[in-house]
Amino acid sequence: MAGLVYAQQPPVQQTPPPTQQTPPPPQPPAPPAALQAPPTPAPAVKFPEGAKYAFVNIQRIATESSDGKASSARIEALRLKKATELTEKNKAVEAFQAKQRSAVMSEAASAQVQKDIDKAQVDIQRVTQDAQAELQDLQNELQIDFQRKVGPVIEQVAREKGLQLLFSQGDSGLIWADAGLDLTVEVIRRLDAAAAASPKPAAPKK
């Protein structure tokens, strides 16, 4: 699936007395924003004609594609849910401990509170293990689903380009390659198009 750092203010510099200078000639006003020419976009890198080798960045596809973003959102939602459950259970333990420290109780009552604390701590360990297992199961499920979807798209792009080999940038030990050989954006574009064209699951009935 950082705090703000504030810079110290620099010491105040003594301003030297102004000197007599000839004022610069007036500059013409800047043209309105609507009349200014838009910035020239960077030229797209073309795939080298006749190239038989290319590569893709699988991690980038998983991060930037719509399917990958949806998967990340599901994992984060589950993680937050489990974290909230653990926070509530920890608060319960803290309440028991505060009661144990502040209240004047009989020996039997104190022993019962300690049992409640021990039981809650065991419950926290169990919930933590269950949460980790549930998150791992979801990650595995989404990874399998992602591979099922991206595999045919990568194969289609490779065949259309007439490639003999297609490398995974993160796994191949690739140090340098012509930027035009990177087919990552093309795979993301086609994967997103396939996701947009696929039928959406029906909303649950109320």
pLDDT digits (tens, 9 = 90+) for 83-110: 999 999 999 999 988 888 876 788 888 8
The structural domains of the chain, with segments of one domain joined by +, span: 51-197
Confidence of residue 18 (pLDDT cuts 50, 70, 90): very low
Q: Could you read off the pLDDT of 120-153 as tens digits, one per residue?
A: 999 999 999 999 999 999 999 999 999 999 999 9
Q: Where are the alpha helices (DSSP H) in 6-65?
A: 58-64
pLDDT recorded at residue 1: 34
Q: How far apart are CA 52 and CA 47, in angstroms?
A: 11
**Close Cβ partners of 205 (under 8 Å, ≥ 6 residues apart):** none
Q: How far apart are CA 140 and CA 32, in angstroms?
A: 54
Own/partner pairs, 131-139, CB within 8 angstroms, 24+ separation:
131/82, 131/85, 131/86, 134/78, 134/82, 135/1, 135/75, 135/78, 135/79, 135/82, 138/74, 138/75, 138/78, 139/75
Q: How far apart are CA 90 and CA 79, in angstroms?
A: 16
In the CATH scheme, what is the homologous superfamily, with its name and number, of domain 51-197? Skp domain (3.30.910.20)
Q: Where are the alpha helices (DSSP H) in 103-162?
A: 107-160
Q: How far apart are CA 137 and CA 199, in angstroms?
A: 25
Q: Could you read off the pLDDT of 34-74 as tens digits, one per residue?
A: 455 555 544 568 999 999 999 999 999 999 999 999 999 99
Best CA proximity match to 185, nearest among 16, 45, 28: 45
Measured at the CA of 176, the angle between CA 173 and CA 182, to 5 degrees, comes to 90
**Close Cβ partners of 181 (under 8 Å, ≥ 6 residues apart):** 47, 48, 51, 53, 54, 55
Torsion of CA 180, 189, 160, 58, to 10 degrees: 70
Q: How far is CA 158 from the centre of its chain?
A: 28
